[in-house]
Structure 1
Amino acid sequence: MTKQFHDHALDSQSLDQLFREARTYNGWLKKDVSDEQLHAIWDLMKMGPTSANQQPVRIVWVKSDEAKAKLAECVSEGNHDKVLNAPVTALIAYDVDFHEELPWLFPHTDAKSWFEGNEELRHEHGFRNSSLQGAYLILAARALGLDTGPMSGFDAGSVEKAFFADNPRHKVNFICSIGYGDPESIFDRSPRPDFDRFSRIA
């Protein structure tokens, strides 16, 4: 039983669902994920913090058979069937020009001016904060009773050409399948380090 550090801490069952018992799935049960569920994921993940509320993530939810076939051509051989069989695969990208939205996303100050004329800085912030938002997506999906399968193993240029050609300033970060995981598709959990192995309190 997890020690409760705060009156509002989640119960142990919720922590199991989000972290301790949650797994990365390689195969999927034949159960659909609805558009309403995708909207629900978005409505949760958008609440997670990003620097100056940048919200740089841009997502394509690959759901149709045609789109899955197109994506399968862009991924490694090991990820091919994962993409074809998953109900949905989210392409998690970031907008290099996210700063154009800052006047309404972060109206407290002229945050747009921090990034104008500095594309390298925008790439740095876009990648960092879209990575955070991708992690929020995983937790949001788990919180809603879904499973996830985040992946590298794809050709970014091919994905961008196939799915972001109308938005060439959108750069893919990683991809993540979403659905109801097949327990037969996972193996024993890999080791997780104790606190002192990779962290310290200064």
Structure 2
Amino acid sequence: MITQFHDHHLSAEALDQIFREARSYNGWLPRAVSDEQIHAIYELLKMAPTSANMQPSRIVWVKSDEARARLVECVSDGNKDKVKAAPVTALIGMDIDFHDELPWLFPHADAKSWFEGDEEGRKEGAFRNSSLQGAYLMIAARALGLDCGPMSGFDADALNAAFFADDPKVKVNFICSIGYGDQTSIFERSPRPEFSKFNTIV
């Protein structure tokens, strides 16, 4: 059990909700997720750090029946039922031209110039930081009482064509269903390593 290190340390119950008792769900209860809840998730995740505040994620929240049907066609067979049942699935995309927004997102320096002419560097930055933002999304959703089911089983080209075709510099990173998880859809938690297995303090 983590001891209290700071006056504003979250309660054990909150840490359980966000981390220790949270699971990746495969099935969903028939409960809706509102637009207000989606906005609340974003208002939290956008506050978390990215390099030079680049904010490269571009998120499509798949909620309508029509959009859900299109998404089902883009995911692997093992994920189709998960997407069909989920009240909303977030498509976490990454904008390779995120640097165009840096003059107002990071006004402290000429950060746009750091990335101009370096598409490979932008791809690396976009992937790393949109991955961070996807993780922040899951933490925010759990903090707000929702459950998550992140997935990487999809046809990226098909998904990009179906949802990001209007801006070819945006590519999907991963997807995450959000809702109220069905406890019967999960199995016993897989092992988690002790600190000494994969960590070193030097």
TM-score, normalisation: structure 1: 0.99
What is the 5 A alignment of 1:5-154?
Answer: 5-154=5-154
SS across alignment from 2:174: strand
**When the two structures are aligned, how many residues end up with a matched partner?**
202
Cα root mean square deviation, aligned: 0.6
Q: Equivalent residue for 1:192?
A: 192
Structure 2 CA distance for aligned equivalents of residues 85 and 67 of structure 1:
13
Structure 1 CA distance for aligned equivalents of residues 12 and 30 of structure 2:
29
Letter of the 1:35 counterpart: D
Structure 1 CA distance for aligned equivalents of residues 7 and 98 of structure 2:
37
Deviations 1:74-133 (A, max 9, x none): 010000010111000000011010000000000000000000011000000000000000
SS across alignment from 1:201: coil
Deviations 1:8-57 (A, max 9, x none): 11110000000000000000000000000000000000001000000000
SS across alignment from 1:60: strand
Q: Equivalent residue for 2:158?
A: 158
Structure 2 CA distance for aligned equivalents of residues 77 and 32 of structure 1:
24
Q: Equivalent residue for 1:177?
A: 177
Letter of the 1:12 counterpart: A
SS across alignment from 1:61: strand
Structure 2 CA distance for aligned equivalents of residues 2 and 146 of structure 1:
24
**Runs (4+) off by over 6 Å:** none
Report percent identity of matched pairs. 72
